[in-house]
Structure 1
């Protein structure tokens, strides 16, 4: 399973959606993910990939990590995983 598929599966689980309903163009708002759901998604993604995402839940806009869309999140995770190697 690719990084993209794994991230989509985690986001879909948090949004209580079928992964097929989560597109790369979807924003977290589109998917109905609240700030709490976002934090839970971040934790789940960190655990899945054994990475640390530079994200401050108290100041989400102050983060360098782009959460504007599923595609942006996948790109960020791919970058963090590549740096880990």
Structure 2
């Protein structure tokens, strides 16, 4: 799959939210986009598959995880960090 990490994460989030990619803004939360807890889990599975990474199992507990899901921008940064850590 081509595109930057940011583009690919936003595409996954947009698919979960049933929105056009252009409608997903970095400052938005998953809740803003109408993504519930099941949608979050599906988004994480899609991100793991897309980037061949392992997201921490406690990503939905921000106080216990380094994987920040507080906004689209935070998710992009967390994925960038995991890709760097797990793929050198």
Alignment TM-score, normalising by the size of structure 2: 0.89
Structure-2 separation of matches of 1:4 and 1:72: 10
Q: Moved runs in structure 1, 4+ residues, more than 3 A?
A: none
Q: Structure 2: which 5+ runs fail to align?
A: none
SS at match of 1:56: coil
For the 8 Å contact 1:55–1:65, the answer to whether it is kept is: no
- Which of the pair is proportionally richer in helix? 1
Within 2, Cα distance between the matches of 1:63 and 1:34? Answer: 19
- Please list every run of 5 or more consecutive structure 1 residues that lacks an aligned counterpart in the other structure: none
Contact persistence 1:10–1:45 (CA under 8 A): yes
Match of 2:38 in 1: 36
Give the corresponding residue for 1:13: 15
Aligned to 2:72: 70
Distance (Å, rounded) in 2 between the aligned partners of 1:35 and 1:80: 21
